[in-house]
Structure 1
Amino acid sequence: MKRRKIIRAVFAVAVLLVGMAATGNKAHAQFYSIRGNGLLLLSGTINIGCDIAVSQKTSFDLGLYANPIKMNKLSLMSFGVQPGFRFWRFEPNAGSFWGVHLSGAWYDLGNKSDTRKGFLVGPGFSWGHCWLISKRFTIGVEIGAGILYMQDTKRPRYTDYTQDEYIYHSKRITVAPTKADVSFVYLF
């Protein structure tokens, strides 16, 4: 129930910002962009991101991530969202930028012996750069870190009925990488 409320709030903010951007002055660079992160695709994570110019040097960024991999001895299931703002040095989708973002994710990770299910949420900062390849395409890189609150449950994947099952609940705050992108961007 809490996840639904968080997701609804994120999308409500996104719709509000899109409406504000549509009524304001368009930036010099392209107004909208869609991107796919090549590094995440290598791990099997399906992802899509959009960038909407809000002013001449700022843009709203929204990334969605999902990993559906679940097998007998390996589980990498996750769903995440990363809304944020980017502050561009010159204009959106061209040159260097720094950004702030909020990370939220649900995960089910495990190997043949243990599984860990839970969620994480937290703010982060990033830096990146976009290179224009043509009028409609750019390549962007971004790296970032943040402070994450994580709450999860660790348990054995399989427990024999003659043995006791140990379940470990944990809550922690950690500093971790939150962004590592090599993105291919299409501009509108």
Structure 2
Amino acid sequence: MKKIRLTLLLGLLVGMAATGNKAHAQFYSIRGNGLLLLSGTINIGCDIAVGQKSSLDIGLYANPIKMNKLSLMGVGVQPGFRFWRFEPNAGSFWGVHLSGAWYDLGDKYNTRKGFLVGPGFSWGHCWLISKRFTIGVEIGAGILYMQDTKRPRYTDYTQDEYIYHSKRITVAPTKADVSFVYLF
């Protein structure tokens, strides 16, 4: 937790230093992804303007759902860089990001625990609703390296337990956001 706080503080300081004499765009924003909230994922994102048409993006995600026959636990981070068409937090943008996550997924038969990491590209758009609020959408894909262990959730003591270790590289969606953004 201290590393996350230190990273966010460092990002804010870099953003404040890089935006010394700008007059047009908002410098910082905080957002929440509505699509991820529907799946039970707690998330928060921060966008820091670092240039006239660029910003640093950091997203943190956590899903605490673990029940008897269902597990959707996971923790992830997605730092990225956005290139805006006009100015940060207004209009269209494209971005690059790095995804990293630890996960524990399972149903009543099998469970899969592991991690993933990889780069990705995204495109999005923000619509200004008022002076302090915007709605943003973003979609992206990336190349992910995944390493995990698959095993049965329950094994009778009279049976053998089969554990499968796998490493793979896959192309997958890495972003799907409908975000509500507050501008500072």
Contact 1:34 1:49 (C-alpha < 8 Å) held by counterparts: yes
- In the TM superposition, residue 28 of structure 1 has moved relative to its aligned partner by 1.8
Contact 2:129 2:135 (C-alpha < 8 Å) held by counterparts: yes
Q: Deviations over 1:16-49 (max 9, x none)?
A: 8735645643362100000000000000000000
Within 1, Cα distance between the matches of 2:110 and 2:77? 26
- In the TM superposition, residue 9 of structure 1 has moved relative to its aligned partner by 9.6
The normalised TM-score by structure 2 is 0.93
Change (3 A) 1:109 1:160: same
Task: State the Cα RMSD in Å.
Answer: 2.1
Within 2, Cα distance between the matches of 1:145 and 1:27? 33
Within 2, Cα distance between the matches of 1:138 and 1:53? 15
User: Where in structure 1 are there 5+ consecutive unaligned residues?
Assistant: none
Contact 1:27 1:55 (C-alpha < 8 Å) held by counterparts: no
Contact 2:19 2:49 (C-alpha < 8 Å) held by counterparts: no
Aligned length: 183
Within 1, Cα distance between the matches of 2:183 and 2:91? 14
Q: Deviations over 1:79-132 (max 9, x none)?
A: 000000000000000000000000000000000000000000000000000000
Q: Deviations over 1:147-174 (max 9, x none)?
A: 0000000000000000000000000000
Within 2, Cα distance between the matches of 1:161 and 1:7? 42
Residue matched to 1:165: 161
Once the two structures are aligned, what percentage of the paired residues are identical?
Answer: 91
Contact 1:25 1:55 (C-alpha < 8 Å) held by counterparts: no
Secondary structure of the equivalent of 1:69? coil
Contact 1:21 1:53 (C-alpha < 8 Å) held by counterparts: no
Contact 1:21 1:52 (C-alpha < 8 Å) held by counterparts: no
Residue matched to 1:7: 4
Contact 1:62 1:83 (C-alpha < 8 Å) held by counterparts: yes
- In the TM superposition, residue 12 of structure 1 has moved relative to its aligned partner by 8.4
Secondary structure of the equivalent of 1:83? strand
| Between 105-114 and 24-33, the greater mean CA deviation after superposition | 24-33
